[in-house]
Amino acid sequence: MFYLVKSNCIVVQSGGPTAVINNSLAGLIDSIEYSRFKGEVYGAIGGIQGLLEERYINLTSLKDDDKFRLRWTPGAALGTCRHKITFDEVENIINSFKKHSIHYFFYIGGNGSMYVANIINNIAIKMGYSLIVIGIPKSIDNDLLGTDHSPGYGSAAKFLATSLLDVKMDVASYKGGRRVTIIEAMGRHTGWLAAACSLATFQHDESQTFIYIPESSFYLEKCINQINESYRNKMDTFLIISEGIKNENGQIINENEIEYDSLNRPKLGGVSNYLNQVIEAETGIQTRSITPSIWQRSSILLSSKTDVEEAYEIGKAAWDYAMKEYSGVMIGMEREKDSDNNYIVVYKEKQLEEVASKEKFVPLKWYDEVKNRMTDDFISYVKPLIQGEMIVPMTNGLPKYKYVI
């Protein structure tokens, strides 16, 4: 095994942060520390860009108190970025690993990151360099294949459902208001986050809630009819919109307003504001839009304890699989039940090439396309993921966070 000779590790955080991403980092570091491994543990500062520029930080000397504080710190503590990597750059990364005696590479990220990890694994093999490559999933979008759900999703789902519930209680204060409220959830191609808002129910809810996800075509005329029907019934209307919803022709709803990022992907967001203007003009009903944006992925105070613990455990599992000399794999979660029929997960390896750049969509059998609501099967799926609360230590009334860099 590599740990019997001079050998070091490196961990990278990539893509959009989550509220619990640093728990995976802490879990990995803890597991390495408790093992027989004697090498150094490096972190790349600023994601893949940190690898390319050899901006490494030594995590071996991270104090226990600081490491513990990472567990309630949102955002990527090592820093992150979005970068379209080339094959030449991958070879440079492998050569850097050689120079620093790095034989373990851990990549915390989404499906795009798993694609990069797979390329690094394959090129290391071609170059004849001994490198164990392990992908650690994270995604608030919950769109990674190979895992029942992704660390980060449960907390973002809990934040959105709680936020909608709060807004509903506020709107309910104005009796007979008949207002329209649009809430825009993240979700480029998938509607997992918007779907989670189906949890926001309460006794005597006299409003109507409609959920629109990218997996199902959005029909503006039908939406207008639903709003008018609610208005006639003296009910407020809540529209939960995934940012990536498309019409029956497969076009993004506010396509004319879309810009593109460095990866040539459309910069989504703003569909709620667009629909706000259209709906108000078409119906004359008072309409407002709310865009939680990055709040839905950065709120640790509304995080799920289940999500926090699973993110930590999946980091630990990554090192366990590395010690068994697995490589070219992502650590996925599989849902099981214990002898008392309680929800539990187990951590199993999935081949990177089977999950890289692929997406997991909301099953349409979990979505009522007529009523634009989620089914009970989806509710059963998502409920266990939002359970429990994170106790966040405070200083002067505010959370006390920790950054590594």
Catalytic sites, residue numbers = 141
Looking at residue 149, the DSSP 8-state letter turns out to be S
- Please name which of 101, 111, 97, 98 lies closest in space to residue 44, comparing C-alpha atoms: 97
Give the span between the Cα atoms of 244 and 266, in whole angstroms.
9
Distances (CA, A) of 97 to 75, 105, 230, 391: 26, 9, 61, 38
Give the span between the Cα atoms of 356 and 117, in whole angstroms.
8
- Please name which of 294, 359, 314, 348 lies closest in space to residue 111, comparing C-alpha atoms: 359
Conformational region of residue 135, where left means phi above 0, alpha means psi within -120 to 50, and beta covers everything else: beta
Q: Are 122 and 129 in contact (CB under 8 A)?
A: no
Give the span between the Cα atoms of 254 and 183, in whole angstroms.
15
